[in-house]
Amino acid sequence: MKKTQNTTEKQIKSKERVARHGEVFTAEREIKAMCDLVKNESERIDSRILEPACGEGPFLQEMLRRKLQTVKNRYRRSPHDFELYSIVALSSLYGVELLEDNAQICRDNLFNIWNQAYSEFGDQKLQVKQSARYMVETNILCGDALTLKQHDGKPIVFAEWSLLPNGVMLRKDFELSEMLEQKNQSNQHGLFPSGDSYEPAPISLYRPIEYWRVYECQRR
Ligand SMILES: C[S@@+](CC[C@H](N)C(=O)[O-])C[C@H]1O[C@@H](n2cnc3c(N)ncnc32)[C@H](O)[C@@H]1O
């Protein structure tokens, strides 16, 4: 079993990183207590969660464990449904982190938690794993949560993943700045547009594709 990297037990990596980036990780007890404050959402398979300044992603990890527990409880008798809904759970978690090393650890941590759960359910398929890897690479971005820009100066863009019938996923990309503008204007809680008055337009639309090969998804 591959262990997730967890510096959170130590809470700091170096004094220099604390001084330069305010990098102090949240302790496990606080993470669990804070997730309990939104217990229903933390256990709902498709609730979309963003951890800005995610570090190694401790909140996202806890959310993923809870969502996967829901998937196990509901679909333990069906490896196919477990596979599908575990991917939906993973696809709903988003992070922004300033430092690339942290962002990469966060992606690896989420993938490893998902992969550990997946390994308990029958045959493991390479394409499903590639899709899971693709989703964490797409959803956990290295950038600045204050300027809403990536390191290369391009805007932070998140993919909205929606499950359609027959295990097909639809991807639409939105700029984070637009989503936050929309959230301010309509005072809604969700991360992505939900039919309220002001709806940002997606900047990219993709062809619908089966959940087990989303890594092949292509723009329309
Ligand atoms: C206090 S730590 C918290 C990390 C994690 N969320 C946790 O609770 O353990 C803050 C993190 O934010 C990152 N960070 C600092 N400024 C940031 C910014 N403007 N945008 C995105 N991430 C930032 C740091 O690199 C660090 O990993």
pLDDT tens across 67-81, in order? Answer: 999 999 999 999 999
Length of the chain: 220
Ligand 1 atom closest to the CA of 55, numbered from 1: 27
Does residue 2 belong to any structural domain of this protein? Answer: no
Spacing, Cα 220 to ligand 1 middle (Å): 35
- Ligand 1: does its nearest atom lie under 6 Å from the Cβ of 71? no
- Domains contained in the chain, number: 1
Could you tell me if residue 4 is inside a domain? no
Which atom of ligand 1 has the smallest separation from the CA of 17?
25
| Phi, psi dihedral angles at 186 (to 5 degrees) | -100, -5
Instruction: Tell me whether residue 3 is in a domain.
Output: no
In angstroms, the CA 77 to CA 99 distance is 41
Residue 178 within a domain? yes
Residue 78 lies in a domain: yes
pLDDT surpasses 60 at 7: no
Could you tell me if residue 173 is inside a domain? yes
Instruction: Give yes or no for residue 144 CB within 6 A of ligand 1.
Output: yes
* Residue 199 maps to a domain: yes
User: What is the per-residue pLDDT across 108-129, written as a single tens digit (0 to 9) for each?
Assistant: 999 999 999 999 987 899 999 9
Cα 57 to Cα 49: distance, rounded to the nearest angstrom = 11
**CB of 98 shorter than 6 A to ligand 1:** yes
Average pLDDT, the chain: 91
Cα–Cα nearest to 173, from 158, 187, 162: 158
Q: Where are the beta strands (DSSP E) in the chain?
A: 49-52, 93-97, 140-144, 149-150, 157-164, 168-175, 204-205, 209-210
Distance 100 CA to ligand 1 centre (A): 11
Residue 201 C-alpha from the chain's centroid: 21
3 state DSSP class of 159: strand
**CB of 161 closer than 6 A to ligand 1?**
no
What is the domain extent for residue 118?
24-216
Query: Furthest-apart CA pair in the chain: how many Å?
Result: 51
**Residue 26 CA, distance from chain mean position:** 18
Residue for token pair 């333990």 = 76
Q: What is the pLDDT of residue 192?
A: 75
pLDDT tens per residue across span 166-198: 999 999 999 999 988 876 776 666 677 766 566
pLDDT at residue 195, as a whole number = 63
- How far is it, in rounded angstroms, from Cα 205 to Cα 170? 8
Instruction: Note the pLDDT tens digit of each residue in 135-178.
Output: 999 999 999 999 999 989 999 999 999 999 999 999 999 999 99
Minimal-distance CA residue to ligand 1 atom 22:
53
The position carrying tokens 């998140």 is: 158
Helix and strand numbers, DSSP H then E, in the chain: 8, 8
Return the pLDDT at 122. 76
Cβ of 35 closer than 6 Å to ligand 1, yes or no, is: no
- Residue 15 resides in a domain: no
pLDDT band per the 50, 70, 90 thresholds, residue 4: low
pTM > 0.85: yes
